[in-house]
Amino acid sequence: MNLLILHGPNLNLLGTREPGIYGSDTLEDINSSLHELAEELGCTLTIIQSNHEGVLVDAIQASVGMSVGILINPAAYTHTSVAIRDALAAVGLPTVEIHLSNIHRREEFRQHSYIAPVAVGQISGFGPAGYLLGLRALFTIAIKRLSGESGCGT
């Protein structure tokens, strides 16, 4: 079982970018933790980071038949990208949206998500641990979906 992990713009700067908001862990630290958890769960990951909206849209579209779910931190595209939202809706894979900071406690423009309405859930405000929470949730949803169980994500 493969899960697609997408990191949006500026997440490649984690560790040095506004550590008071985003913490000191690097993207490599987060990816390493995700791989460790994936090994424990018995799944594989395809991880992509891009600062370009079209690259993320292409990755979402290419995930059909390759992945059974998507964990996405769309970063700034959360608040602006109808294209990413539409791609997620089009592929129909269970999607979990994550954010390092609590977007609902930030500037007003950051409180709206185009992604949330097409995601099975959103995790925000738990720093890098949010990625692990999101991966566990997505794995559980994907297993249920693959086994034909009804409920969240089907």
Q: What is the pLDDT of residues 28-41, one digit of tens each?
A: 999 999 999 999 99
Q: What is the CATH number of the domain that holds 26?
A: 3.40.50.9100
Residue 46 in any domain: the answer is: yes
Has residue 151 got a pLDDT over 90? no
Angle made by CA atoms 13, 15, 18, in degrees to the nearest 5:
80
In the chain, how many domains are there?
Answer: 1
Residue 154 in any domain: the answer is: no
Nearest to 125 by CA among 153, 97, 95, 84: 97
Residue 18 in any domain: the answer is: yes
Structure tokens at 114: 């185009």
Q: Are 57 and 83 in contact (CB under 8 A)?
A: yes
Cβ neighbours, 10 Å, residue 48: 17
What are 44-67's pLDDT values in tens digits? 999 999 999 999 999 999 999 999
Has residue 124 got a pLDDT over 70? yes
The answer, as to whether pTM is greater than 0.75, is yes
Helices and strands in the chain, H and E counts? 5, 5
Give residue 74's domain range: 2-147
As annotated, the active-site residues are: 22, 99
Residue 153 in any domain: the answer is: no
